[in-house]
Structure 1
Amino acid sequence: MSCFRLLLSLVCLLLTAATPPAHKIVERNFQPYFDQYNVQGSFLLVEAPTGQVVAYNLARCRQGFLPASTFKIPNTLIGLQTGALPDTATLCKWDGVTREFPQWNQDMSYGRALRVSCVPCYQQLARRIGVEQYRAWLPKLRYGRMAVAPATLDTFWLDGNSRISQFEQVDFLRRLHAETLPVAARHQRAVKQLLILKKTSEYTLYGKTGWRFRSATNPDNGWLVGWITRADGRTALFALNIEPKGGRAANNQFMGARRAITESILKELRWL
């Protein structure tokens, strides 16, 4: 019996040694950066591969929000993988409808459509992908909880019941960064190149914004998700989500606030 207990103790010891310790979540107060733009929100950063976490407004980081145009990342991957999008140079033809964002009112490649966040282009792509392909691929990508139906095929990421949290955004981006998504590596690399926001000798900043426009039932809601890779090989993935304070409508600063707040936090954390 004593030999059995000794063996059991050794097994438990080996299992404990093989199991990495849970990383502590460090909570920080970044509210002053949000106050500068009269917004409220949350910020999450996860170092790769260590998994160390820094969070502001942790409970909110776990809440789900509509992905808005951050969905262009998985949307492009699904389009490329299924053949609905031959490549990112494929032309999206303007439908002739004049919209409030002038950069949308023209023909453009899907590479440019991602960068200028052209919603109508990606609605065209969604109609080519179709409900069944989304229902097959979104679970494989483990991208939040998307509610896709025929009636919402070209709007499900902009309105309705689809939700994704900042933790889920970061987990998805972690797998894209590592090129371990169940999508051809060449497609992952093509999308990663489109996400480059800034490249210097010290770091490369990747990201995609999103903006869920205000409606009768929802406030304006903004995203910036991405990662930063430094020349020394260190990488951190991040997700910012903001809303105007008090449920007010977004002002002229709202669009730029997402990147400005993110970069301020990255500087404080010595990533920029």
Structure 2
Amino acid sequence: MLRICLLLLSLGSILLLGATPAALITERNFQPHFDRYGVTGSILLFEEATGQYVAYNLKRCRQGFLPASTFKIPNTLIGLQTGALPDTATICKWDGVKRYFPQWNQDMSYAQALRVSCVPCYQQLARRVGVKPYQQWLRKLAYGRMDVTPQNLDTFWLDGNSRITQFEQVEFLRRLHAEKLPVAGQHQRAVKRVLQLQKMPEYTLYGKTGWRFRSATNPDNAWFVGWVDRADGRTVYVVLNIEPQSGPANEQFIGARRAITEAVLRELKWL
């Protein structure tokens, strides 16, 4: 009996030593920043050094949404890794169809297509990648719960059943930042270069916006996902998701994604 008790105590000690403490989540009220732009939503930040989250509207941070153009990050990685995209300098040929966003109506590199969120370019890429490679690589990347079928191959990130939460976006960005995704390091570095938005002496801001356009069954829904690398070596990841408080999206809504994110980062002294 004594020997069994000692064995149980020993196993318990091993389990305790190997246990990972739950992440600390601090909830903050950033609603005034959202009100300023007439939107509702949530924002989630994670500081790498401390392992601590800061969240506004925590329940919503755990809710899944279509990734919209934030999916261009894993989409580019998958394209590069599978060879469907030779490199980010590869030119996407304009198909001649004039669309609402004039910046889309031209030939452009995939680096530029990512920056201006050119949906038609990434739909061309999706058709080159194919259903099975997406299904395989999305599992490897652990990127939310994407629903890819032959019927939705070039729209699955924009409409349908695909979902990703803000917590899942943060975890994906952490692995990209650390180059720990199961993708060649050179491809991860290439994507990170394209994501750079602003470089200052004190910090560098990386990010990507996304916008799921309003439809008969879905409201406008938009993202900002990214991170800040401070000159002192600290890193914070930030993921915002918003919807209009009422009515359809407008120009203010488009600008709100980055503006609210930067306002919160400034309030928390990251910018």
Using structure 1 for the length normalisation, give the TM-score: 0.96
* Match of residue 230 from structure 1: 230
- Match of 2:223, SS? strand
Whichever residue aligns with residue 254 of structure 2, its letter is: M
How far, CA to CA, are the matches of 2:23 and 2:101 in structure 1?
43
* Match of residue 138 from structure 1: 138
- Match of 1:152, SS? coil
- Match of 2:89, SS? coil
How far, CA to CA, are the matches of 2:156 and 2:23 in structure 1?
34
* Match of residue 163 from structure 1: 163
1:266 equivalent in alignment to 2:265: yes
- Give the drift of 1:15: 3.3
- Match of 2:257, SS? helix
Q: Is the 8 A contact 2:144 2:165 kept in 1?
A: yes
- Give the drift of 1:7: 5.1
- Give the drift of 1:22: 1.4
How far, CA to CA, are the matches of 2:46 and 2:190 in structure 1?
23
How far, CA to CA, are the matches of 1:172 and 1:122 in structure 2?
20
The CA RMSD measured in Å over matched residues stands at: 1.2
- Match of 2:251, SS? coil
Whichever residue aligns with residue 53 of structure 1, its letter is: Y
Cα-to-partner distance string for 1:171-202 (whole Å, 9 max, x where unaligned): 11111011010100000000001000111111
* Match of residue 68 from structure 2: 68
How far, CA to CA, are the matches of 1:135 and 1:17 in structure 2?
37
- Give the drift of 1:10: 4.6
- Aligned pair count reads 271
Alignment of structure 1 residues 88-99 onto 2, 5 Å: 88-99=88-99
- Give the drift of 1:11: 4.2
How far, CA to CA, are the matches of 1:165 and 1:238 in structure 2?
13
- Give the drift of 1:50: 3.3
- Give the drift of 1:271: 0.9
Whichever residue aligns with residue 34 of structure 2, its letter is: F
Alignment of structure 1 residues 1-40 onto 2, 5 Å: 1-2=1-2, 4-6=4-6, 8-40=8-40
- Give the drift of 1:106: 0.5
Whichever residue aligns with residue 269 of structure 1, its letter is: L
How far, CA to CA, are the matches of 1:217 and 1:10 in structure 2?
56
How far, CA to CA, are the matches of 2:20 and 2:162 in structure 1?
33
How far, CA to CA, are the matches of 2:150 and 2:14 in structure 1?
52
Gaps (5+ residues) in structure 1? none
Q: Is the 8 A contact 2:44 2:56 kept in 1?
A: yes
Counterparts in 2 of 1:151 and 1:18: CA distance versus 1, 3 Å: closer
Gaps (5+ residues) in structure 2? none
* Match of residue 250 from structure 2: 251
Cα-to-partner distance string for 1:154-173 (whole Å, 9 max, x where unaligned): 11111111111101111111
How far, CA to CA, are the matches of 1:95 and 1:251 in structure 2?
27
How far, CA to CA, are the matches of 2:103 and 2:28 in structure 1?
37
Q: Is the 8 A contact 2:24 2:51 kept in 1?
A: no
